[in-house]
Structure 1
Amino acid sequence: MEEKEEGVNLNWTLPVSSVQELVRQRQPDAVPPRYLRDDIVMAGHHRELSQGLPRIDLGKLMDPPSRSTELCNLHSACRQWGLFLLVNHGVLDEGMRMMKENVQGFFDLPHHEKQKSAQKPGSLEGYGQAFVTSHDQKLQWNDMIFLKCHPAHARNLDLWPKNPPEFRIALEKYSEDMRKLAAEVVKYIGMALGIHEGELDLLTKSFGEGKYEVRMNYYPACPEPERAIGLLPHADISGITLLTECGNIPGLQVLSKDNCWVTVPPVPGGIVVNLGQIMEVYSNGTYRAPDHRAVVNKEKERVSIATFCYPSPSLPVGPSPQLLAATGLPPIYQTLSNSGEFLQCFLSHKLDDAVPFIDTLKLQTPNRCVRPFHLLLVL
C-alpha cells in the first residue's frame, strides 16, 4: 500500500499489528510507546454513574397508556445524555447469545485465521484498526472487525469470517434484528421530539431501508490501563448506534454536560442506544450526540458489538422541517441533500482538525466540508 500521509481521507487506513497478538506473544509489563496516551487518559476526571444510565422501556413506549410518560423520559435522556439503556427491547435472547458467542469465538481464533478477513487497501472494512493515517500516529488498544450488513448488496462476503462456522448466520440474524429495532427506536425518538404524521413515517421508513454496519471490538487486558485508550473520545456520525456488551467488564465512558467522564456499567440483556450526529442535526441541536470513549482493564479483556444505524442514503440530512415550524427557531445546521453527501463530508474531514466535524455543518460557521474528487466508500 502507498504510504501516503498527506491528503488522506478517513476511508483509508494503514495496516498495523494486532494488539491481541502483541499481548499474547510478548506479555508486556508496560504499554509500548506507540500506545501511550497520557494526553488523553489523564485529561478530565471520572466518576461512576451513581443512579445508572437513563433506562427506557420499549414495551412502555409501545403501550398507549404508558407511552406519554415514557416519551417524556426518552426526551429527557436524549437532551441530557444523548445515551440511554434500552430494556424490554424484544430482541430474542437466543439471537443475542449466538452473536456474542460467535464474536468471542472469532477473536479466540489463531491470528492467521483472523487474517483471512483482514482489511484490504483503500477500505476500512474487515479485521484490523480504523483511521490509522500515518506511521507515527498513536494507536488505540483494540482490534476490531468491521462489516457492512444492510442493504444486503453492500456486503463484502469475502471478508465475512467462515470461522466460527455459525458466524455468518449469527451476524445476518443479529443485524436484521438491529435493523428492525433501530427503526422502532427512531420512531419514538421522533415522537419525543414532537415529530408526527407524514414526516415521522418518512423518518421511520428511512431507517427501515437504511445502512447498517457492525463493528466488533476486542480490548485486550492492558498492563497500564491508565496510560492507554481503547477507543479515542469521539461522537458517532450515525443516526443512532446500538451497543451490546459481550460480558460484564465496564469500558464505555460518556462525557457528561459538566465535562466529566462517566463510566457506563454493563447491564445483562440491555442495549445501549447512543445518538449520532445525524440525529443531533435532525433535532436542530435539541438532542446530543455525546462524546464517548472506551477505557481498558488491567486484568480482563472486553468484547463489544456496535451497530451503526444510518437512514436511507436518499434522506436529506438537516433540521426537521416540522420542528423548525413548531418552535419558530432558525436552523442551526445546514441541510445536505442526502446522507451520502453527509458521509462524504465526514470522510474528507481531517482527524486532527481543531474544529469538530459537526461544527463544520453549522450555518454560522464557514462550510469547511470539502467534497472529495472521487466517490468514497462510506462507513
Structure 2
Amino acid sequence: MAPTFTNDYRHFAVTKGHGTKGLSDLQLDSLPEQYIQPVEERLDMTKVLKEESIPVIDMSNLDDPNVADQIVAAAEKWGFFQIVNHGVPVEVLENVQEATRRFFALPVEEKIMFTQDKSPTNSVRLTTSFLPKVDKVLEWKDYLSILVSDEKSSEFWPSACKHEVMEYVEKSKLVMKRLLKALMQGLNVDMESKESLIMGSTRINLNYYPVCPNPELAIGVGRHSDVSSLTFLLQDNVGGLFIRKMETDTWISVPPLKGAIVINIGDALQILSNGKYKSAEHCVAANGSNNRISVPIFVNPRPEEIIGPLPEVLKNGEKPIYKQVLYSDYVKHFYRKSHDGKNTLEFAKI
C-alpha cells in the first residue's frame, strides 16, 4: 500500500526496507521531495562531452609491454578505463547480473533480513541511498554490500545470489592482480611485496537503480571517488555512469560494452602513488525508462594497514603530498558524510 503523506516516503523506503525499488513499484507520478537533488548536485547534461570516451584496453596479450603502458597511462590521465578480452568468462558475468536481478526481485520480507538491523552478519548489509541516516537528500539506488573474507563468510550470504557472487569474485581475482601488477611496475614497485597492502581485502556490491519518476531531478549515485585501491565494475547495457574530466568541469559517459569490465583507480592507490595515479570523481544518473544494475568489486588495503606514498615512489626526492594514515580511519571518514566529490582525500593530505 502506498504511503499516504509525502513525509512517509523516507520511512517506507528506509525504515520499512522497501528501498527505491519499493517506491518505483508504486509507479508514482512525481519524485518524492526527499529525492529531489539541489540543482548543483544534478547531472547537467549540457556539460557531458559527447566526443570523448575513456580508453578501452585489450588484455588478450598481457606479455606485450604496450598493454601495461596503456594501463599506466589510463590510470595517470583518466583514472578510468575499460578492459576487454580479460579472461573472465561471459557466462560468469551474465550469471552475476541475473543473480543481482533475482535478489532485488525477492519480496521485501525476505530482503529486509539483510538490512543492518537484521543481517545475521556484519559483513552483509542491504541499504538504500548511500548513508540514509546521514543523507539529507536521498540517492535513487538500493544496494547489497558483501565483505568477502573467505569461503566460510558466504554461509550468511543470500542464497539468491551467493554462488554467482562467489564465482564472479573468484574468476576476477587473477585479472585484478594482473592490473595491479602493471600499475605497480609503473611505480617501480615489486607487486609481490605489496600484495597484502594493496589487495588485502575485498568487498562486492550488488547495485540496483530502479526506474525513477523525474530522473532529471534525482541522482542514482552522487559524485564521489572510491576509497579502494582498484574498483572492478560490471555494468549492464542500460548505461548511466559518468566520470568527471579532471582538468575541466565536464562529464564523460562510460558507455556499456558487452563483455567489458570498467576499471577505476581508488583513493588508496592515488595516495600510495603520491598522486601519480588519479581516482576520478564519478556519478550515476537516474533513469526514467529502464531498471539498471551494476556489480562493482572493490579491492582494498586491509583495515589495519597504514597507507601513504610508497617509499619507492619517493626515493628520488619527490616530496610526499599525503601523510601516513590508518586505512580504517580513512574509510570511516568516507562513511561519516554524504557523497561530496573527492573531498575525502583532504583527510590524507599533508
Instruction: Report how many aligned residue pairs link the two structures.
Output: 331
CA contact (8 A) 2:154 2:162 kept: no
CA distance in 1, matches of 2:185, 2:320: 19
Greater shift, 49-58 or 301-310, is seen at 49-58
Does 2:171 match 1:170? Answer: no
Q: CA deviation at 1:290?
A: 0.8
Q: CA deviation at 1:253?
A: 0.6
Deviations 1:309-334 (A, max 9, x none): 113445431112111113x2110001
Q: CA deviation at 1:119?
A: 2.5
Q: CA deviation at 1:216?
A: 0.8
1:250 to 224, 227, 239: 239
Does 2:254 match 1:273? Answer: no
Deviations 1:286-313 (A, max 9, x none): 1111110110111111011011111344
The amino acid of 2:180's aligned partner reads V
The amino acid of 2:131's aligned partner reads F
Runs of 4+, deviation exceeding 6 Å = 352-355
User: What does 1:203-214 correspond to in 2, within 5 Å?
Assistant: 203-207=194-198, 210-214=200-204
2:252 to 245, 253, 262: 262
Identity of aligned residues (%): 27
User: What does 1:225-374 correspond to in 2, within 5 Å?
Assistant: 225-245=215-235, 247-257=236-246, 258-313=248-303, 315-326=305-316, 328-336=317-325, 338-347=326-335, 349-351=336-338, 356-363=343-350
CA contact (8 A) 2:221 2:284 kept: yes
Per the alignment, residue 20 of structure 1 pairs with 21
**5+ long unaligned stretches in structure 1:** 1-13, 364-379
Q: CA deviation at 1:156?
A: 6.6
CA distance in 2, matches of 1:207, 1:96: 24
Per the alignment, residue 179 of structure 1 pairs with 173
C-alpha distance 91-49 of structure 1, shift in aligned 2 (>3 A): farther
Tell me the TM-score normalised to structure 2 length. Answer: 0.86
Deviations 1:352-371 (A, max 9, x none): 889912112111xxxxxxxx
CA contact (8 A) 1:183 1:205 kept: no
Q: Secondary structure at the match of 1:330?
A: coil
Greater shift, 96-105 or 338-347, is seen at 338-347
CA contact (8 A) 1:241 1:275 kept: yes
**5+ long unaligned stretches in structure 2:** 1-13
C-alpha distance 357-235 of structure 1, shift in aligned 2 (>3 A): same
The amino acid of 1:343's aligned partner reads V
Tell me the TM-score normalised to structure 1 length. Answer: 0.80
User: What does 1:121-136 correspond to in 2, within 5 Å?
Assistant: 125-129=124-128, 130-134=130-134
Does 2:97 match 1:96? Answer: no
User: What does 1:45-84 correspond to in 2, within 5 Å?
Assistant: 45-60=46-61, 62-63=62-63, 66-67=64-65, 69-84=66-81
CA contact (8 A) 2:215 2:285 kept: yes
CA contact (8 A) 1:317 1:342 kept: no
C-alpha distance 74-157 of structure 1, shift in aligned 2 (>3 A): same
Per the alignment, residue 144 of structure 1 pairs with 143
The amino acid of 1:361's aligned partner reads A
